[in-house]
Structure 1
């Protein structure tokens, strides 16, 4: 059995499809399945069973002899949520529990960290584990991910193979349920279809012009290819960046969405909401040498190719991966 937590969500459901495509069907999907909004993400996919998030640790203990690999992708990911107790319970303590079970029973583990751990980038974006204690995330979500990374590195006992992946700005099919947290590409597509224009945030930073805030946008198909690679690699444990390695502007992103739709470019700028203005990252870019040093063989999608595939093959067709 292969475990995927967060299996009804964005990246998790795409990983289920990837595993199906590679001939893996004995999959255990873990999530909070009462959220009907996400059900379409695993419709038509092959798997053994579904396990509710709250009972999964107990289930894992009871069924550990059948488990070959654990992908722990489930988390509370809302960067606008400021109730730290929620993140302590769902992100930090829950992941510690899964880690300890994997240690006890010799199970390999890949878990989702986040580029939100880097904060404003004061200490750069290198996945150098010695710098992790220095990082200053901008919100409780980023804190919860960084706190677990620090905890994992401090443990004397670890799974025989483990990897924490700092996901940068992932976009692609199956993210429709994420609301405000969905990618700018998703929102651009829907705004263009509705109004013929896209509103981007103004810059409130003197070093960046409007729309030239930069992010490392990574296509979800690249993310799941890396996850699949690590399932077979199973050595060189540690914490790794997972981005494209190339920062691009929001203007690039929106412009390519218009082009993929064959629509004239019409971009307006609006003030960044005040509740996130002082916590806003103006630049992120993953250093990818560490992951590539493992022998990962594939080139990543360019922003142009990723947006075109997403818009033409999924958003325009109301299709799922």
Structure 2
């Protein structure tokens, strides 16, 4: 059995889809659906059962799970604006510790989501070499909760036994439930469809023009292919960046969406809320040398290719979910 925590969420449900593409359906999905729309991500997927995250943790602590092949731990509070630090400590840090221990004690593969948010403002670079891990300074509590687990795993000598993935700016189908945390591409499609134009934040640094802030955008379909590769290569472990290795500007992203929608670009630059100005990342770009050196053969779609697939095959369709 394969267990995917956060399996109704964005990357989690996409990975269940990837497992289905591989012919795997013996999957336990763990999540907290609550009153969200996440359940819609599950409709097109094939899986064995669903368990609430609290009930699942109880089964883990009481050692009552059946034999499992792997836990792919994508479950977490992913809001970069979440202010409840105790909640993040328990939900993101301690929960992950318990699952990691269980997998190691039961000889099961453990792959978990770290985050590019652990790199902070990027002044220390984006190198996934373990040697510099302790020097990183996340800018928000979400990033810090992810960073704490990375550090714990390093101190416990576990990084040669488990896989942590530092996801950069992931976008694609099944993110619709995320509200304000949706990708700019998802938001852009709706804005352009409704108003004919797209709003982007102004820059407050002279070295970056408006809309020229850059991110490493990666399509969720590419992410789950890399995750599947790690699942099949148990000899490869450690913390790895998961981006394309090529930073692109918000303006380039906007143009890609307009082109995919067969519209002429029309961009309006608006003020950035003061509450996030001092925590805003102007540049992210994953160092991908380590993943390549590990032998991963996965290639990544260009931003333009991914935007076209997302817009034309999902966002503009009656059923926009992975299927």
Shared fold by TM > 0.5?
A: yes
* Kept in 2: contact 1:115–1:166 (CA 8 A): yes
What is aligned with 2:260? 260
8 A Cα contact 2:103 2:110, kept in partner: yes
Whether contact under 8 Å (1:123, 1:131) holds in the other structure is no
Matching of residue 210 in structure 1 with residue 210 in structure 2: yes
Q: Secondary structure at the match of 1:66?
A: coil
Q: Is the 8 A contact 2:159 2:238 kept in 1?
A: no
State the partner residue of 1:38: 38
Could you tell me which residue of structure 2 aligns to residue 196 of structure 1?
196
Aligned to 2:105: 104
Task: Provide TM-score, normalisation by structure 1.
Answer: 0.97
1:253-272 C-alpha deviation (Å, 9 max, x unpaired): 01110010001111000011
Per-residue Cα deviation, 1:240-264 (whole angstroms, up to 9, x for no partner): 0000110000000011100100011
- Aligned position for 2:228: 228
Question: Aligned with 2:240: secondary structure?
Answer: strand
Task: Return the offset for 1:135.
Answer: 0.5
Alpha-carbon contact 2:36-2:177 (below 8 Å) kept: no
Matches within 5 A, 1:150-169: 150-156=151-157, 158=158, 161-169=161-169
Partner of 1:87: 88
Q: For residues 6 and 124 of structure 2, what CA distance do their matches in structure 1 show?
A: 30
Q: Distance in 1 between matches of 2:104 and 2:297?
A: 29
* 1:83-121 superposed Cα distances (whole Å, 9 cap, x missing partner): 211110110111111111112222210000000000111
> Structure 2 vs 1, CA of residues 159 and 248 (structure 1 numbering), >3 Å: closer, same or farther?
closer
Structure 1 spans left out of the alignment, 5+ residues: none
> Deviation digits for residues 195-237 of structure 1, max 9, x if unmatched?
1110000001121110000000000000000010000001131
Question: How many aligned positions are there?
Answer: 320
Q: Residues of 2 paired with 1:126 and 1:195: CA distance?
A: 40
Distance in 1, Cα, partners of 2:269 & 2:45: 40
- Is the contact between residue 119 and residue 125 of structure 2 (CA under 8 Å) also seen in structure 1? yes
Q: Would you say 1:187 and 2:213 are equivalent positions?
A: no
Distance in 2, matches of 1:298 and 1:105, equals 29
CA contact 1:245–1:286 (8 Å) conserved in 2: yes
Q: Distance in 2 between matches of 1:159 and 1:124?
A: 21
Cα distance in 1 for partners of 2:184, 2:142 equals 19
Q: Which residue in the other structure is 2:134 paired with?
A: 133
1:62 counterpart SS class: coil
Counterpart position of 2:293: 293
Partner of 1:146: 147
* Residues 107 and 159 in structure 1, CA contact (< 8 A), matched pair in contact too: no
Q: TM-score, normalised by structure 2?
A: 0.96
Is the 8 Å Cα contact of residues 29 and 50 (structure 1) preserved in structure 2? yes
Which shifted more, 36-45 or 238-247?
36-45
State the SS of the aligned residue for 2:126. Answer: coil
Deviation of 1:58 (Å): 2.6
Q: Deviations over 1:273-308 (max 9, x none)?
A: 111111000000001111111211121110010000
- The CA RMSD over aligned residues, in Å, is 1.3
Task: Mark the CA change 1:160 to 1:151 in structure 2 (over 3 Å): closer, same or farther.
Answer: closer
Q: Secondary structure at the match of 1:28?
A: strand
Residue equivalent to 1:29: 29
CA contact (8 A) 2:159 2:239 kept: no
